[in-house]
Amino acid sequence: MRMWRVGSFSMGAALLLLGVFLLLTQVFNWDPAYALLSWWPMLLIVLGLEILIYLRVAKKENAVVQYDFVSIVFIGLIGTAGIVMALAHSTGILGVAEQVMKAEVRTANLPAYEERSLEGVKRIVVDSWSYPLTIEGTQEKHVSLFGTYEEENAKGPSLLKEVSDYALIEKKSDTLYISMKELPHHRFSGHLTAEATLLVPAEMKLEMDGRGHMIKVKPRQMENDWTIGGGGLVEVEVDKSANVKISAQNVNDLGQGEWENVKEDKNEEEYGPRSADMTIGKGSHTLTITRADAVDVH
């Protein structure tokens, strides 16, 4: 009496087909993931054909059919893995995983912005949003915004193509509003990081919300008053020849600088926010820094 072991042939065929597919991926530079997606359904076809053929042969030859459960379980595991990969592909998870594996960290330039038409504009209002910003005074009669950003992204086009991708800029009446946006990012990757520099005409009045982030201020020869509110660490770089008064109000830490008229609001705590000022030159114009974590003057 002849005995048939169903499953042995299927396992052998599965390994053979797998080897062929992997070889073809090397020859034709196929993506192995997609090659496996195409290969695994053939396992079920081969196993089904083997069972049907052996059942038919068993009836004719009065043979005993014995199932090779080890081989069948092995094929089942491979088939299950294939189904999981197919589901991952259909839901987009496989594409995301491929994107993460191919990701690279790169530094690129922010799309530059320049506003030369400032007729009627008397003040500039800035919202720095979520990344460091440098504000620098200039004798030029236009506003410029530029910088760099770092992103972790798959090889491909940049996420930042236009100024509107990272900043909202509007002129209303006598005010130029500049609001930095949250930078675009892929759902499963980290946020982009950026550092931008804003050049402001020295004759313009400036009002800025630091949003708790680091702000660098380089007023140079100020010809108007500037106000920086709500910053994290505010670093001020000023020339000794400048004519500026720096007024720190409700600041948690007065760092470097020759501060005068220091006042501390203790209230119920041991220490509280402090206020002080510093005059450089004649102090013709005032740089006011309010509600910052710390202020350093260099």
Per-residue pLDDT of the chain (298 residues; tens, 9 = 90+): 455 565 666 667 776 776 776 676 667 766 655 656 666 677 667 777 777 777 676 666 665 556 666 666 766 676 666 666 655 665 666 666 666 566 667 788 899 999 988 989 999 999 988 788 999 999 898 999 999 988 766 555 677 889 998 899 999 999 999 999 887 765 555 556 888 999 999 899 999 998 888 999 998 878 999 999 988 899 999 888 888 999 999 999 888 788 999 888 765 555 668 899 999 888 889 999 999 999 999 8
Do 68 and 202 belong to one domain? no
- At residue 96, the 3 state secondary structure works out as helix
Token pair belonging to 79: 């088939």
Do 201 and 156 belong to one domain? yes
Do 107 and 238 belong to one domain? yes
**Which residue, 47, 46, 45, 40, is CA-closest to 21?**
40
Instruction: Report strand pairing: 294-297 vs 253-254.
Output: parallel
Task: In whole angstroms, give the CA distance from residue 214 to residue 90.
Answer: 43
Q: Which of 101, 125, 152 is the last residue of a domain?
A: 101
- Show the domain range for 36: 3-101
Torsion sign over Cα 64, 69, 74, 75: positive
- At residue 244, the 3 state secondary structure works out as strand
> How many structural domains are present in the chain?
2
Count of alpha carbons within 13 Å of 88, Cβ hemisphere only? 16
Do 121 and 92 belong to one domain? no
Q: Where are the beta strands (DSSP E) in 202-243?
A: 205-209, 215-218, 226-229, 233-236
Do 233 and 92 belong to one domain? no
Do 156 and 292 belong to one domain? yes
Do 151 and 289 belong to one domain? yes
Q: Which of 80, 101, 122 is the last residue of a domain?
A: 101
Do 91 and 197 belong to one domain? no
Do 175 and 206 belong to one domain? yes
Task: In whole angstroms, give the CA distance from residue 95 to residue 102.
Answer: 11
Do 54 and 140 belong to one domain? no
CB-CB neighbours of 19 under 10 Å: 10
Do 96 and 25 belong to one domain? yes
Task: In whole angstroms, give the CA distance from residue 110 to residue 134.
Answer: 14
Task: In whole angstroms, give the CA distance from residue 135 to residue 28.
Answer: 54
Do 211 and 277 belong to one domain? yes
